[in-house]
Amino acid sequence: MQIPQEMIRDSVLPQFFSGIEVLETPPYGSGHINDTFAPVLRRADGTVTRYILQRINTRVFQDPDGLMENIQGITSYLKEIIQKNGGNPLRETLTLFPTRSGASFFRDPETGFCWRLYLFVENTLSLDKPENTEDFYCSARAFGRFQQLLTGYPAASLHETIPKFHHTVNRLDNLKKAVQEDKMGRLNEVEAEVRFALEREKDAAVLLDLHAAGEIPLRVTHNDTKLNNVLIDEQTRQGICVIDLDTVMPGLAHYDFGDSIRFGANTAAEDETDLSKVSLDLSLFEAYTRGFLEEAGGVLNQTEKELLPMGAKLMTFECGVRFLTDYLEGDVYFKTHREGHNLDRARNQFQLVADMEAKWEEMARIIRKYNR
């Protein structure tokens, strides 16, 4: 929805600061979930500072209190660790500004809107896709460092901001239900895709079963490890700050590793219809593995590291299952831009899964190479 600028200027920002002059409140970024702005404020002493202001999408994140408790806890913990390590906590993690009453966000009593404010991390950029292999490697180091820095954080204390988000078994159960109901009468055209998914049903529980057996631990995971969720320093081109912490939840390290590979090491866009263009780029897989294990390898156990290829396969498989389910249900979750868009996405992801299976030994060899 369109947010009136006067609402931001007169009703929202004064909840965080007093005695400020609002110079501008432009929309910012290309995110599809929250409404984001980059207000520039002048304080009474003449200091001009840019911030990130977001209206939290409470249809997606239905427990804003729990979500913001997660973010406040994680960023406070990271700042303390970064400070101890001699880093710059104002650049290496998000800085959350409390409201004037000390709350982590402002809930407007008239509209019900929930607003939060961060410091803008200046002189950085974010990329929707890597411009070269080094960019992907740097993002891997950033997400690996995120994993490493949060090793001591009590993962079980975090709220599930989206319940069962990466529960692959549950995602497959949802597909079965969609197949049974066939609300849109589309089942006949996707029989091959449904068969592909059900043939891999045993894979869906592999990581969950190992966690239940105590072989892989619960960790703090980001769960949306796209390249554009890392801020890259303009001078050094190093990934310095992981952003978009809404989906930080208890999870498995394989979720973060796997989703990065799914998104960043595909040789085609995730909705490419020419499936001959879809494959796993092993050079990008190796670059990401190297960077991720350089930072997180010391905290992951042997089983976790050996199963990183399974993380890549399962996150890709899960995403394909979600696209296929949404197609059968009438395209109610993912935004689509053409007829059959979700089906194209599902076929794309399943093709990538098949290519990973064909390259399984090469993936395992790369993991062994950097598993030191």
Go through the domains of the chain in sequence order and give each one's CATH number: 5-61+96-122 (3.30.200), 133-370 (3.90.1200.10)
- Is 136:265 a contact under the CB 8 Å cutoff? yes
- Burial label, 366 (beta-carbon count in 10 A; 0-12, 13-18, 19+): buried
For the chain, give the number of residues. Answer: 372
Grade residue 336 by pLDDT with cuts at 50, 70 and 90. confident
Over the stretch 159-210, which tens digit does the pLDDT of each residue have?
A: 999 999 999 999 999 999 999 999 999 999 999 999 999 999 999 999 999 9
Each residue's pLDDT tens digit, 57-115: 998 899 999 999 999 999 999 999 999 999 999 999 999 999 999 999 999 999 999 99
Burial category of 92 from C-beta neighbours within 10 Å (exposed 0-12, middle 13-18, buried 19 and up)? buried
pLDDT, tens only, 292-304: 999 999 999 999 9
Burial 21-44, CB ≥16 within 10 A → b, else e = ebeebeebbeeeebbbbebebeee
pLDDT of 130 reads 82
Report pLDDT digits (tens) over 301-321.
999 999 999 999 999 999 999
For 201, other C-beta atoms within 10 Å of its C-beta total 14
Residue 1 has pLDDT above 70, yes or no: no
pLDDT of residue 211: 97
pTM here is 0.93
Residue 68 near residue 159, CB atoms below 8 Å: no
Per-residue pLDDT reduced to its tens digit, 250-288? 999 999 999 999 999 999 999 999 999 999 999 999 999
Structure tokens at 336: 């689509």
Tokens of 363: 């993936």
What pLDDT score was predicted for residue 334? Answer: 85
Over 70: is that where the pLDDT of 289 sits? yes
345, 322 Cβ separation under 8 angstroms: no
| 190 burial via Cβ count (<10 Å: 0-12, 13-18, 19+) | buried
The DSSP element (H or E) to which 350 belongs, if any, is helix 341-358
Helix axes 308-329, 191-198, angle to 10 degrees: 140
Q: Which of 117, 118, 114, 120 is nearest to 55 (CA)?
A: 114
Mean of the per-residue pLDDT values of the chain: 95
Report percent pLDDT > 90 for the chain. Answer: 90
Average pLDDT over residues 344-369: 98
